[in-house]
Amino acid sequence: MLGALPGLQEAFHGRAAFALVYIAEAHASDEWPVGLSISHARAPRTLPERMELARQLVVRTQRQCPSWNVPVLVDGMEDLFQQSFAAWPMRFFVLDGGRVVHKAQPDPETCTYHLDDLEAWLETNLACPP
């Protein structure tokens, strides 16, 4: 799913800025052990540990999608972004002037996100001028 972000970023270059905010580890092996294929890290206890997990995400994603060039920000250990935006475990937002103008909702059957909804919103609201 994240591999589709570079395509959206390219399609909306100059009309939208994209960033990923790395928040609390969703399936930390020491807090919510659900198997090695999902729980690949312990919950970070310090900001440098969280930053290292974010760096590892970037490395894994760039291996899968070499054109990945989305800036990655890291939520502080107080989890202010996560709490302010109800972003756990994952969510896609469109912000305009500090206001949330679109918040992606998970698929009700699979509880996963599809970028189609985000892309449709961007197409409708950020269409290229004629």
Checking if the pLDDT of 27 tops 80, the result is: no
Q: What is the pTM of this model?
A: 0.74
Give the CA distances from residue 94 to residues 2, 70, 97, 118, in Å, rounded to whole numbers and listed in that order.
16, 15, 10, 8
Beta strands in 53-97 (DSSP E): 72-74, 93-96
Residues 6+ apart with CB under 8 A from 67: 6, 10
pLDDT at 84 over 90: no
Hey, what are 21's tokens? 């905010």
Residue 101: Cβ-neighbour burial (10 angstroms; 0-12, 13-18, 19+): exposed
Does domain 2-125 match CATH 3.40.30.10?
A: yes
The continuous run of DSSP H or E covering 55 comes out as helix 47-64
Polymer length in residues for the chain? 130
Backbone angles phi, psi at 39, to 5 degrees: -90, 95
Q: What was the pLDDT predicted at 130?
A: 54
**Mean pLDDT to the nearest integer, 43-58:** 89
Per-domain residue ranges of the chain = 2-125
Greatest mean pLDDT among 47-51, 55-59, 85-89, 126-130 = 47-51
Q: Give pLDDT, residue 67.
A: 78
Q: Mean pLDDT, the chain, as a whole number?
A: 80
- The pLDDT of residue 36 is 54
Residue 44: strand, helix, or coil: coil
Q: Is 107 exposed, middle or buried (0-12, 13-18, 19+ CB in 10 A)?
A: exposed
Average pLDDT of the residues in 58-69: 83
